[in-house]
Amino acid sequence: MPKIIEIDDLKNPDLDVFTKLTEAQLRNRLEPEKGIFIAESPKVINTALDCGYKPVSFLMERRNIEGQAYNLINRCGDIPVYTADREVLERLTGYTLTRGVLCAMHRPSYPNLEIICKDAKRIAVLENVADSTNIGAIFRSAAALGMDCVLVTPSCCDPYNRRSVRVSMGTVFQIPWTQICETSEEWEKSGPAKLNKLGFKTAAMALSDNSVSIDDPTLLAEEKLAVILGTEGDGLSHSTIASCDYTVKIPMFHGVDSLNVAAASAVAFWQIGRHK
């Protein structure tokens, strides 16, 4: 049976995971196995549960207990369900709950890089992508358009960020992903070479004098291909571009020279995802 707990004290420490802890604090505990992330909306939470993620507690509007979250609550056994009216929750969290339901979930450890890349043919690599909305959108495109897994560098926004999870519509739980390299310095020094050792040719998405088109036949014929996309604004680092096997561009019109990284990822994933 669910454990329904009416919120009568906004300073209740059991609510800190929803109200006080920053994304970094949720992620970087002294004991990594106690890491937490927040999933928002019944659809996203159900997707996480379907993929084996373990819930810790809920925070939701009272009306959702017998409404859109009814089946979800009963699916999760006797974990705490903290509840109040919308106005109270807005004061508590500092923002409007988009779908009226939050779930704190146990954060898994990073999967092994070699294992998730072993049978992959097309992978996406994100270098220093900082915006949570872009991360979520890229994961959604990667899952939908044929990428086998996603790798993020240490300076990327956390894919388990609340907004990233919501924008991804739960695909962050469905497509395999992990962090590549322990530090940004390690990535800069040997990241593309690490991908080569795993059997991938590397394709840096960037404009240069020797860029090939995203529909280049030689590029698309590669058996294993890693598409690397860079941070908003500055794009990929010069060292990453220089270390890659290909520099790749998306042909454009009307004098436009670049796309938002999330939009560029969708174009690139659609093109290379269907050639594997």
Task: Give CA–CA dist 83/8, Å, rounded.
Answer: 9
**Pairing of β 36-40 and β 3-6:** unpaired
pTM tops 0.95: no
Task: Give CA–CA dist 45/120, Å, rounded.
Answer: 27
Binning the chain into helix, strand and coil, the percentages to the nearest 5 are: 40, 20, 40
| pLDDT by 10s per residue, the chain, length 276 | 678 998 877 677 888 888 777 776 677 644 555 789 999 999 999 999 999 999 999 999 888 888 889 999 999 989 999 988 877 777 776 655 556 789 999 999 899 999 999 999 999 999 999 999 999 999 999 999 999 999 999 999 999 999 999 999 999 999 999 999 999 999 999 999 999 999 999 999 998 888 999 999 999 999 999 999 999 888 999 999 999 999 999 998 988 878 899 999 999 999 999 988
Angle CA 266–51–129, to nearest 5: 35
